[in-house]
Structures are given as C-alpha cells and as structure tokens.
Amino acid sequence: MIIIGIILALVFRRGTTSTLVNEGRVVNAPVSGAVNSAPVNAPAEVKKVTLAEVKIASKELLVRNQVKNFVERFGSYSMESNFQNFKEVMPLSTPTVVAWLKSYPNTLKQKLPTGFESVTSRVLSQKVLSLSDTKAEIVASTQKEETIFNKMAVSYKDIKVNLVLINGQWLVDGAFWQD
C-alpha cells in the first residue's frame, strides 16, 4: 500500500501529461491551461434553484411515488391470492377508500370469468394534473398484463388518482380507471 501511495504521489506531482503524435513519433507533453482551448458547449448561465422550487419538486416526488406504489399494487391482483393486494394498499388510502377496498373484491369475483388467474399493472408514466399544499390529482399511464385461461394479453390504460395530505402523509382519496 505504501509503494502504491508513493507511485500515485509521484504521478500526480509531475503534472498531467498528454500523448501527442508529432511527425510519426509519440511524445508525452504536459497539458497546460489555455493553448487554443475553449470550453465546448459551456452553459451561458447556471440557473439557481430556489428553496420554493425544491419544496415543490420534493412534494411532487412524494406524490408520484405514492401514486406508483398504490397503482401498481391496486392494479395487480389474482383470485389465487384472494385479492391480498387490496389489503396492502389500505395503509396508503383514506378511510373512504379503505371502506371501498374492503367490498371491491366481492364485486370483482362476480365479474371475473371462471378460471381467471391474474393481472399485473406497471406504471409507465405520470402526469400531474394539479398539486396544492393539501390535494393532488395525477394520471398514471399503465401497462396491464392479464392472464386468463393461460392466455396472456397486454393492454394500456390510464388511471386518475386523487390524493389528500392527512397528518403529513399523502393518502389516496380516489382511483378511477379511464376509458
């Protein structure tokens, strides 16, 4: 380790060199400041970010993460797991949505064909429709993979998610698949 440290110290002490080709010969030449060098594509001005902009970006990131977590779990379910995903999203939801989530699996069981296996949803993108200090409305575009009778189909569907800030936590106050 000591030998490696000494070698590194000698290399950095000598300065930076550059390999040049001069009349067919390879020459090591020191690289120095301003010999015909100008910054390429240097920004004209660096924009300073304000504290307010940081707070807005932070709030938007929290909301987007909550929507992604909710939608991917909510939209991914199977009869085999007895709709466990709805229980998983209850902590992310307001009491009104929790009450609806408790009854929704029964509605799905009646609508789904016999032999239904699973649906997996992935959030591909999100669009913030509105964002205030206490409310947010986001549209998430999803890819849904459905397996019915061992046949897989892929579809794309949007879901609008309403959120409210309660006790410092963003909670889902409504989720509506868009036609």
Q: What is the largest CA-CA distance in the chain?
A: 84
Q: Quick one: pLDDT at residue 80?
A: 79
Residue ranges covered by each domain of the chain:
51-177
Q: Quick one: pLDDT at residue 113?
A: 64
The domain covering 51-177 belongs, at the CATH homologous superfamily level, to VirB8 protein (3.10.450.230)
- SS3 sequence of 35-65: CCCCCCCCCCCCCCCCHHHHHHHHHHHHHHH
Read off the tokens for 21. Answer: 């080709």
Q: Quick one: pLDDT at residue 70?
A: 97
Q: Specify the pTM.
A: 0.70
Q: Quick one: pLDDT at residue 6?
A: 62
Q: Quick one: pLDDT at residue 16?
A: 47
Neighbours of 139 (CB within 10 A): 16
Q: Quick one: pLDDT at residue 156?
A: 96
Dihedral angle computed from the Cα positions of residues 21, 25, 29 and 31, in that order, rounded to the nearest 10 degrees: 10
Spell out the per-residue pLDDT of the chain, length 179, in tens.
Answer: 566 656 655 555 554 444 444 445 544 545 554 445 555 665 667 788 888 888 888 889 999 999 999 999 999 988 778 889 999 999 999 999 999 999 988 887 777 766 667 899 999 999 999 999 999 999 999 999 998 878 899 999 999 999 999 999 999 999 999 98
Q: Quick one: pLDDT at residue 17?
A: 46
Q: Quick one: pLDDT at residue 53?
A: 84
